[in-house]
């Protein structure tokens, strides 16, 4: 798997599909590797005519780690509450700049940016900080981080932050299977044999719980995006599951309400995961939206300039 220096760190990435096709960059959620996406997902996008790039965020998978730096989450939250600058190694802004720098290093002028959960927060920041690189934005099961929004259910929050009894593969796999049932998708159930194998393969590739602490600190330390998103002028799709108990559907509705002209789709029975039975619907929904964004761009560039604009003399 190729690695590249971007934004001063080493990022591990993969790309699929023809280099001449419209590019879709997909950004992972909290503590998850790029291989956490089912292969059906990127294969589905390639079949729809896209070039797909996925990568390991910093502190996950095979990308660069910030070993030994362990922020105190309670102190981070206290600093935020008191209006002080938290002591964290990086913020979500830095992770967004990683994604933008990866595009630069690959020679990609602009791409459609999609992210799930924490990856959706990062994708929003790519659009805000690097609008010229963002052809469209797809915010999936994510949030503006506005403090007024409802919190996770206690069960989902506990599942997210709980740890397995040991770091042995069997314990990690069984613990992950258990927690996924708490905030998974009741209408889209993965085959348990396949899912257990998928989780095990990700464990073999890289099990690195230390990175989750720093990523969680980055989420807690990063300010809400409510007001900046109101100024965003990029075509946006917001996708959320009606059964999501980790980031509630209200967060998706709020994200769409903040971004002018954003499209919102709430999917019944979908929770906070990417089960394989839901992948065809998700691919079709996202690909159809991106196709529309590409047509809009083509039509905009095909229209003659309005007389007197663009410094015409």
In CATH terms, the superfamily for domain 3-155+211-302 is: Alpha/Beta hydrolase fold, catalytic domain (3.40.50.1820)
Q: Per-residue pLDDT for 125 more than 60? A: yes
Quick: pLDDT tens for 62-121: 999 999 999 999 999 999 999 999 999 999 999 999 999 999 999 999 999 999 999 999
> What pLDDT, on a 0 to 100 scale, did the predictor assign at position 313?
35
Tokens of residue 139, six digits:
């915010």
* Cα separations in angstroms, 284 against 55, 269, 278, 288, 292: 22, 17, 10, 6, 12
Q: 89 φ, ψ to 5°?
A: -70, -25
* Ramachandran angles phi, psi of 22, nearest 5°: -55, 140
Place of tokens 């560039």: 301
Q: What percentage of the chain has pLDDT greater than the value 70?
A: 96
pLDDT tens, position by position, 167-203: 999 999 999 999 999 999 999 999 999 999 999 999 9
Question: Domain residues of the chain, as ranges?
Answer: 3-155+211-302
Quick one: pLDDT at residue 296? 87
| Strand intervals (E) in 28-96 | 51-55
Q: Within a 13 Å sphere around the CA of 188, how many CA atoms are in the beta-carbon half?
A: 23
Q: Copy the structure tokens of residue 7.
A: 């934004």
18-46 residue pLDDT tens:
999 999 999 999 999 999 999 999 999 99
- Please say whether the beta carbons of 16 and 52 come within 8 A: yes
The whole-number pLDDT of residue 308 equals 57
- At how many degrees (to 10) do helices 192-205 and 169-183 cross? 130
Asked if pLDDT for residue 268 goes beyond 60, the answer is yes
pLDDT, position 1: 67
Taking the model in full, what pTM does it have? Answer: 0.95
**Cα four-point dihedral sign 121, 123, 126, 132:** negative
Can you say whether residue 163 is alpha, beta or left, with left for phi > 0 and alpha for psi between -120 and 50 degrees? beta
Q: Judge whether 238 and 97 are in contact, CB under 8 Å.
A: no
């Amino acid at each position: 798997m190729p690695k590249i220096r971007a934004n001063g760190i080493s990022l591990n990435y993969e790309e699929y599909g023809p280099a001449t096709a419209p590019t879709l960059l997909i950004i992972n959620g909290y503590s998850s590797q790029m291989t956490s996406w089912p292969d059906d997902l990127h294969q589905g996008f390639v079949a729809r005519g896209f070039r797909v790039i996925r990568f390991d965020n910093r502190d996950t998978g095979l990308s660069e780690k910030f070993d030994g730096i362990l922020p105190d989450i309670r102190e981070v939250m206290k600093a935020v509450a008191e209006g002080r600058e938290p002591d964290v190694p990086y913020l979500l802004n830095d992770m967004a700049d990683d994604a933008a720098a990866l595009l630069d290093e690959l020679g990609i002028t602009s791409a459609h940016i999609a992210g799930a959960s924490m990856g959706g927060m990062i994708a929003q920041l790519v659009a805000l900080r690097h609008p010229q690189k963002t052809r469209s934005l797809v915010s999936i099961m994510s949030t503006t981080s506005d403090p007024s929004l409802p919190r996770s259910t206690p069960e989902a929050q506990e599942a997210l932050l709980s740890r397995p009894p040991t770091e042995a593969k069997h314990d990690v796999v069984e613990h992950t299977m258990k927690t996924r049932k708490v905030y998974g998708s009741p209408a889209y159930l993965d085959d348990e044999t396949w899912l257990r194998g998928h989780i095990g393969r990700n464990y073999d590739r890289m099990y690195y719980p230390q990175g989750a602490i720093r990523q969680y600190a980055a989420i807690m330390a990063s300010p809400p995006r409510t007001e900046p998103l109101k100024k965003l002028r990029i075509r946006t799709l917001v996708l959320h599951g009606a059964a999501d108990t980790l980031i509630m559907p209200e967060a998706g509705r709020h994200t769409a309400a903040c971004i002018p002209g954003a499209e919102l789709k709430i999917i019944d029975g979908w929770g906070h995961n990417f089960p394989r039975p839901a992948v065809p619907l998700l691919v079709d929904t996202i690909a159809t939206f991106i196709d529309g964004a590409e047509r809009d761009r083509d039509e905009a560039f095909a229209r003659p300039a309005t007389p007197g604009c663009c410094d015409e003399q």
